[in-house]
Structure formats: C-alpha cells, structure tokens
Amino acid sequence: MSRRVPVILLALVLPLLGSVPALASERAFTLAGGVTQPVYSFADAIRETVWVDTGVDLDRDGAKDRVAADIIRPAEPAARGQKVPVIMDASPYYATAGRGNESELKSYDSAGRPVKFPLYYDNYFVPRGYAVILLDLSGTTRSRGCLDVGGRGEISSGKAVVDWLGGRADGYSTVDGATKVPAGWSTGAVGMIGKSWDGTMTNGVAATGVAGLRTIVPIAAISAWYDWFRSDGVSFTGFGTPTSLASGHENSSARQKCGRVRQEMTDGAPANGDLTPMWRERDFVKDASKVKASVFVVHGQNDWNVKPVNYGQWWDALTATGVPRKIWLSQTAHVDPFDFRRKEWVDTLHRWFDRWLLDVPNGIENEPQASIERSPDRWADDKSWPATTVRGTRMYPAPGGTAGVGTLSPEQPQPANASFTDDRSGSPSSWSANPDRTSASRVLFSTPAVSSDLRLSGTGSVTVKATPSTSTAHLSALLVDYGPATIRSDPGIRNLGTESCWGENRPGDDACYKDTATTSQNVTAHVISRGWADLANYNSLTTPAPLRPGTAYPITFRLSTVDHIVPAGHRLALIIGGTDRTAIPAPASPPKVTVDLADTSVLLPIVT
C-alpha cells in the first residue's frame, strides 16, 4: 500500500503541473527580494547581428529592406533550451550622435560582431536573464532602406523585429544572404525603450498593435511628428525639415537610393506649417486605440525640444485603451531619468520589466501611477494622473489700470480691447519681465495672489480673438507663475568628475557612467506652459485662410501639458504676444494685434 501512494499522487499532480506556465526550475531567471538577480555571465554572453526583413522596399532597389538588430543575450539559458525576453532600443543615432549623456556609439570586432552596446541596458539586464537588442533604424548605421522620419519604413523596422522574435518574420545571417536565422531563444515578449527619437519609435511601434510588444518606455518622446516640427499652423525655428533631419543620420546606401523619399518628405512638409497627409501618417496618437502594451512615460516639463504636449496628448489618448500606465514628470529639459534620478530610475525600471516581460507579480501596477518633481530633487507621488479632480476651468482677461496689463479671473469681462505690436524680438524672458508695466510687444493678465495652492494638471488651451493690422500674424501664449521659487536651471543637470557603475563590465563595454548633480536657480517668474499658432489657420490646420487687415479672427490653440502647483501667495498670469523668437519665425508682415478681451479666454486644467 505504501508503495502505491506516491504513484497515485504523481498521477494526480502531473496534470496540474501541465497547467502551470513555467516551473521554477524551467524559468530562465532567479528571484530574490522580489526582483531578478544577476546570475548569468556577461563576459560570456552571446553577441550577434541578425538582419530582419521589414517587408517593404522603401529604397526601391528591388529587394525588401533589411534592418540590423545587434543582439546580446545570456549564453546559459540558450544552452539549456530556455527562452528569454527582449529589451529593445531602436535608434538612428548609433553611428552619428550616439546615445546617452556621453554620446556612446556602437563598435564591432574584426568579425563584425557587436562589441560596444551603448547605454547600460545590456550590462544590467543581460546577467538577469534578458536579451538586449539595439536596432539600427532603416537607412541608418548598418541597415538598408530609407530613414523616413516616422514613416512606414521606420516603423516597420521596429515592428518587423518584434514579429521576428515572435516567429512571424524572417531574419538572416547577413544583410543580403539567404541563410535564415530563427529567434528560437526568445519568449516573444518584447519591451521597447528609448529617449527622444528612440522613444518616439516605442510609441510608433506600439500604435501598430503588434503582438508580443508587452511594454514601452517612451522617454522625452514624440507622439506626433507634426508637433515636433510645427504648432497649430506655425513652424518651429531651428528644427529644420524631416528631410534635413534624416540627412544627418542616413548611411551611404540611403543617401544614394532614397532621393524619392526625401523629396516626398520635402513636399509633405510645407514651411507654412499646414497639417498635411504626410504629417497625419506620422501621427501615432490617432492610432492609440491599437496599443496593447503597458506604457511608462517619462518627460521633462521644461523640455522645449520635445514639447510636453507630446506626452500629454499621448497619455490622454491611451486612457480609453485601459492599458497599465505609469508616468514620471521631472523639472528637467531633454534629459534621461538615468541622469537625474539614477538609483530610483534603475530600480523602478528593473521592476517594471520584471513585471511585464517576465510576469513577476511584484504589484508595480498597483503603486502610485505618477511621480512628479515639485522642486529640484523633491518628488511627490500621485495615485493617478492627471489628478482625478481636474476640471477644465475657463479664465478671462480683463483690462486693468495700466495699458496692456490686466486681471485674470473666472468672470467674463465687459467688452474691451488690448493691443501689442509684433517687433520680432519677443521672448518668454522679455515678455514675463516687469509684469506690472506696459510692454509694447505683449499683453499680460494675472490673477490676484492665490490664497491657497493652485494646481494645474493636464493640457490647456487659449482662445484669442485677434485683429491684425497686416495680412500675416503669428501668436504666442505663456502661462507664468509669479513668485519666488527655486527651480532646475536648463537643462537641469551637470556632469561630475566621478562615475558609478550599473551592471557588469567586459572588454569594450563597461557599465560605468558619469555621475551628475542638479543645477538650480532662484527665480521670481517661472514660465510653466507655452503655445504658438498662425492666425491664418484660425479655421483649419490643413488650409490657411488669407487675413484681411482690420478684421477680427478667433483662434483656439493648445498650451503645453503641465503639472504645476502655483503656491499660495503667487500669481498666475496669461501672456499673449506675437513672434516668440526662441521658438517660431516672424510672419512676413509683422502686425499690430488688437485683442478682443470679451472673446478671449484660457482653459486651464485646475485641480479642484
């Protein structure tokens, strides 16, 4: 009888074990303290390049474009037949601008195998049971095809690699050979991460709804390319065109073969700032409903490279999808969290990837959704973002006792006008100076000193009824917090002479990076949100209308997304001007603009 009991128990237990996704002994990772541990040799990790067929022939050379995926993965799981998930950073910068605070570039050995993997992802995560892929976007570094700046060629680069890892696309051992390389070592679970253009790729690929993309971490990322180059009908200065941006990062093959793509981008991006079909193709917000991946957004609220409206509209569009989301908002400009909150960032990212790529039940999705920097290095967590009690509150300007200076309140004023002249030289700093004095180049309206903290959380807009004296007019708007404060100074960090290491080293690829320190300044005025528009687009972003001097036109345009607390005792002001020389060009004939205050207002996302 005693010899039969184990047999009976085994017969009962085996079917149950078959329903378990993975036994502990079969898992290619080790947990301790709730997180994966560095148990694999980084020095012995497998390094290889696979060229993945994107399925498109954008360079029109008669062959489907193949993109280079440089891979590093732990050798031990592969030897045991175990599979690992993938962390991927898809970038155009690996042979040009480089990645990270130290502008790291890829390097290769004499056999063409990748040696240097920029950033710390490989050093830190490969020993913990992840593979890392650094993908060259189409037309860059070692990939074929064309760099079409958010177009179908570029997005297919990332999607194709996710499909290859899931067994749905072909990869090859060489850029033009016929030997296929399967991704049998991959679980098919992929997390994409990246800053700036790389982060934009995470949004674009997620918006295809591709299977297997389990999470994305867009850092300072674009959600619609129009909103990097343009704003409500006006072009940004210093950003060039999609064609000029691509030309700085194309490889020699793309420069030779992609003239037609460059011309299509040039034709599709008119300098007048109109919204064209080319821009619509590169708008990922409109396809947010397809996103299946969890999303961890990171953005600097003083990032005037990738304007904050990019994260705001992306986040809002994702709300309806129900995907798990998390957000960090810093006071920095265009800076990676590794360089402003390093330990907390690596720890959080580690748990985020463990949760969504390895299904470790660590509960990170149940923790506060938002972490917001309120003053330099002082962070506050919120259960959700935007705050649940946000209400769109309309505020109206009214004239005061000084010309061009007035009040801002919830009460709609009696009919009145205020005027300014576009002298082409206005800027946020010049407009916000001397808030109680008349300025010929702007009008300013402020609240009284607020009696209690006033929090803005979300994306606002401004409506202006403007009468130009000429046939061309550009408008700029600012929200300014007036009162003494200490804030990060641009860009918000500085490098130190020391280093810290985050992961393991091997020859040619170390895990050590310069430490940074916070830079700050004391101010009495802090610009917290900005917006710009071409008055000629008052009725349509696709078709400008001729302006008649002396005729009033109403226009509504967006302000950048913000989460900011105006402390008790401070004032909140709306400034309206013409050409903001730090952001937009002057119109052909800069006008005097008369603002009809009765039909002008600002819609603010105020936490009640």
Residues taking part in catalysis: 196, 303, 334
Check if the beta carbon of residue 320 is closer than 8 Å to that of residue 569. no
Q: Is residue 386 reached through a cis peptide bond, with omega within 30 degrees of 0 on the bond before it?
A: yes
Element (DSSP H or E) covering residue 489: strand 474-501
d(CA 128, CA 244): 40
Tokens 């990097």 belong to which residue?
Answer: 228
Which bin fits 273, alpha (ψ -120 to 50), beta or left (φ > 0)?
left
Spatial neighbors of 423 by CB under 8 A, at least 6 apart, are 440, 441, 578, 579, 590
Supply 1's token pair.
Answer: 């009888």
DSSP 432: H
At position 443, the amino acid (one-letter code) is: V
Angle, CA of 286, 576 and 431, to the nearest 5°: 120
Alpha helix ranges (H) inside 402-466: 428-432
At position 266, the amino acid (one-letter code) is: T
Check if the beta carbon of residue 559 is closer than 8 Å to that of residue 529. yes
At position 333, the amino acid (one-letter code) is: A
Check if the beta carbon of residue 115 is closer than 8 Å to that of residue 109. yes
393 strand-pairing partners? 604
Check if the beta carbon of residue 223 is closer than 8 Å to that of residue 263. no
Q: Write b or e for each residue in 252-275: b if 16 or more Cβ atoms lie within 10 A of its Cβ, otherwise e.
A: ebbeebbeebbebbeebbeeebbb
